[in-house]
Amino acid sequence: MYNSKPLNTDLPSSRQLLRSTIIAFIVAVVLLVTVVLPSEYAIDPTGIGRMLGLTEMGEIKGQLAEEAAADAARDAAAAAAGAPVSSAATSASPAAPAAAPAVDATQWRDQMQVVLAPGEGAEVKLAMTAGQKANFTWTAQGGVVNFDTHGDGGTGGESTSYEKGRGVAADEGVLEAAFNGSHGWFWRNRSEATVTITLRTAGDYAQIKRVM
């Protein structure tokens, strides 16, 4: 049996190879702009990443990276000073939220519990329009948590952070939506014990939903 050599007509021409290379390059660029940048770095020049929920994923990854870097810096500083390293993050002393009006226990519209294992994060959002206000209070049982009260998902791709804290056991106030979209809380349990967060809300919002 003889091995036959391919004919020149069976091989792709230089023009075909160039065309395939250009198409592959264009596809790679499109994926980079619409998928990779939003999901990894929260960079969304086209707005498609926000529509698909990828930009929020990138924002969360950025928050986790910031938390990890801050924890590493805190531990290094404590070690250099000869102080014991705490397993829970210390408070970042964020700006005080607006005082929450007195709300009777029977007036809370919704209550939700979120259980966080060590290292786990969760996010709860309210669907709100610009200017709407929601009273809230949340407490962490079993430990302290890092949190970021923020909003995103506006029609123009807006996003904002209202308040951040580290090593916090509770928070309350009034959340006022800066734009139409989803507004709420992201919690991260950096301790070595399971933490249960109880969130109570009331006021102007269409719905409350846990998104992660």
pLDDT at 109: 94
22 inside domain: yes
What does the alpha-carbon distance between residue 6 and residue 9 come to, in Å, rounded to a whole number?
A: 8
Domain coverage including residue 56: 14-79
Whether residues 125 and 200 share a domain: the answer is yes
Residue 195 belongs to domain with CATH number? 2.60.120.680
Which of 33, 58, 79 is the last residue in one of the domains?
79
* Domain assignment of residue 85, yes or no: no
In angstroms, the Cα distances linking 165 to 23, 89, 113, 187 are 47, 9, 19, 10
pLDDT at residue number 31: 82
Task: Provide the CA 83 distance to its chain's centre, in angstroms.
Answer: 32
pTM metric for this prediction: 0.57
Residue 68: CA atoms inside 13 Å, Cβ hemisphere, count? 7
Domains identified in the chain, total number = 2
One digit per residue, the tens of pLDDT, for the chain of length 212 reads: 555 555 555 667 778 888 888 888 888 888 877 877 777 777 877 777 667 666 666 666 666 666 666 666 655 655 565 544 444 333 333 344 444 455 555 589 999 999 999 999 999 999 999 999 999 999 999 999 999 999 987 667 788 999 999 999 999 999 999 999 999 999 999 999 999 999 999 999 999 999 88
Asked if residue 147 is part of any domain, the answer here is: yes
* Residue 95, in any domain of the structure: no
72 and 145 inside one domain: no
User: In this structure, how many other beta carbons lie within 10 angstroms of the beta carbon of residue 152?
Assistant: 20
Task: Give yes or no: residues 124 and 194 share one domain.
Answer: yes
